[in-house]
């Protein structure tokens, strides 16, 4: 009888071990399922709270929650939109330099996202918002550093090239005109600086090609006329005649076209001065 008990004991222990492993496996699967559910569910709940704050323009609170989603739930379906909204919060708070970096990272990570055009426009707009503004205690904006203006122009041109027909296109075009106006004013400011010092050749070189580069600025004819009259002072009548003619041909409705015609008539009569 004792021998029989010893025979069945290993079998009993083996069955008990197998049952224990099976139970543990089931428990593990349940835990895994629950964790996955909690991951998605918690991300969604946090995204809803962040969106609620965002819609009510509580930018700081919303940005913190969107950032938490990006960091804690990077593989959830809410991560991409959370990153974009986080950048939007920075933009809305006036943190334009940080917003540029955030939009750039979003575009690099999610280049085919449905809201990529929005991110690209906002990135360009954030550059635009960093352009120095005129203030009565400071020198005119066109006399100060132009790096922010050039970066804004480059970003706006890039956006308009890739997204020529969006709801943001008209606003982007207006911004582009402003940036080019600022850059043309700066070039004219530098040219006049040279003219005051009688450095006529340097002035004409500074003005040369403005019309080809800054095609959206209505100030181009002003710069061209300044270049043409400088050419006259240098005795380069043929070059001046050519520039006057370009003003009349390309910008017939501009007020400088009338002045250009008068100069052309004087040149034709042999009295350039």
Annotate 213-273 with DSSP letters as a single string: H-TT-TTHHHHHHHHHHHHHHHT-HHHHHHHHHHHHHH-TTSHHHHHHHHHHHHHHTT---
What is the model's pLDDT at position 140? 61
In this predicted structure, which of 15-24, 102-111, 140-149, 190-199 has the lowest mean pLDDT?
15-24
Q: Are 180 and 214 in contact (CB under 8 A)?
A: yes
Mean pLDDT, rounded, for 140-150: 73
C-alpha angle 28/29/32, rounded to 5°? 85
What is the model's pLDDT at position 239? 96
CA of 215: how far to CAs of 20, 21, 119, 172, in Å? 79, 76, 25, 15
H/E stretch holding 183 reads helix 169-196
- The tokens describing 57, both together, are 């323009």
Query: Which band of pLDDT confidence, cut at 50, 70 and 90, is reported for residue 162?
Result: very high
- The tokens describing 90, both together, are 């920075």
In this predicted structure, which of 65-74, 88-97, 145-154 has the lowest mean pLDDT?
145-154
pLDDT at 174 over 70: yes
- The tokens describing 81, both together, are 């939109």
Mean pLDDT, rounded, for 48-62: 97
Task: Compute the 3-state secondary structure of the chain and give helix, strand, coil in percent, each to the nearest 5.
Answer: 80, 0, 20
Residue 5 buriedness (CB in 10 A; 0-12 / 13-18 / 19+): exposed
Whether the model pTM is above 0.85: no
Residue with tokens 């690209």: 120
- How far is it, in rounded angstroms, from Cα 2 to Cα 208? 112
Mean pLDDT, rounded, for 138-144: 55
Could you tell me which of 198, 191, 197 has the C-alpha nearest to residue 226?
191
In this predicted structure, which of 22-31, 49-58, 240-249, 259-268 has the lowest mean pLDDT?
22-31
Query: Which band of pLDDT confidence, cut at 50, 70 and 90, is reported for residue 32?
Result: very low
In this predicted structure, which of 11-25, 74-88, 194-208, 233-247 has the lowest mean pLDDT?
11-25
Write the pLDDT tens digit of every residue in 232-267: 999 999 999 999 999 999 999 999 999 999 999 999
Which domains, from first to last, does the chain contain? Answer: 38-120 (1.25.40.10)
């Amino acid at each position: 009888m004792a021998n029989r008990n010893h025979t069945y004991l290993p079998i009993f222990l083996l069955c008990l071990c197998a049952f224990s492993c099976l139970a543990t496996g089931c428990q593990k699967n349940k835990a895994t399922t629950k964790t996955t559910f909690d991951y998605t569910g918690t991300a969604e709940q946090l995204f809803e709270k962040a969106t609620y704050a965002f819609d009510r323009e509580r930018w700081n609170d919303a940005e913190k929650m969107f950032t938490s989603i990006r960091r804690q739930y990077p593989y959830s379906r809410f991560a991409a939109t959370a990153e974009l909204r986080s950048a939007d919060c920075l933009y809305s708070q006036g943190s334009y330099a940080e917003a540029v970096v955030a939009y750039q990272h979003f575009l690099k990570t999610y280049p085919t996202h449905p809201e990529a055009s929005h991110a690209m426009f906002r990135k360009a707009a954030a550059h635009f918002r960093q352009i120095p503004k005129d203030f009565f205690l400071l020198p005119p904006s066109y006399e100060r550093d132009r790096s922010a203006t050039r970066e804004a122009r480059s970003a706006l041109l890039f956006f308009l090239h890739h997204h020529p027909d969006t709801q943001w296109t008209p606003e982007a075009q207006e911004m582009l005109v402003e940036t080019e106006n600022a850059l043309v004013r700066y070039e004219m400011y530098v040219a006049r600086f040279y003219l005051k010092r009688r450095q006529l050749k340097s002035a004409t070189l500074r003005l040369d090609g403005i019309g080809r580069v800054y095609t959206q600025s209505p100030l181009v004819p002003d710069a061209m006329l300044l270049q043409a009259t400088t050419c006259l002072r240098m005795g380069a009548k043929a070059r001046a005649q050519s520039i006057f003619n370009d003003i009349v041909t390309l910008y017939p409705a501009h007020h400088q076209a009338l002045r250009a015609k008068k100069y052309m008539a004087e040149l034709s009569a042999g009295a350039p001065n």
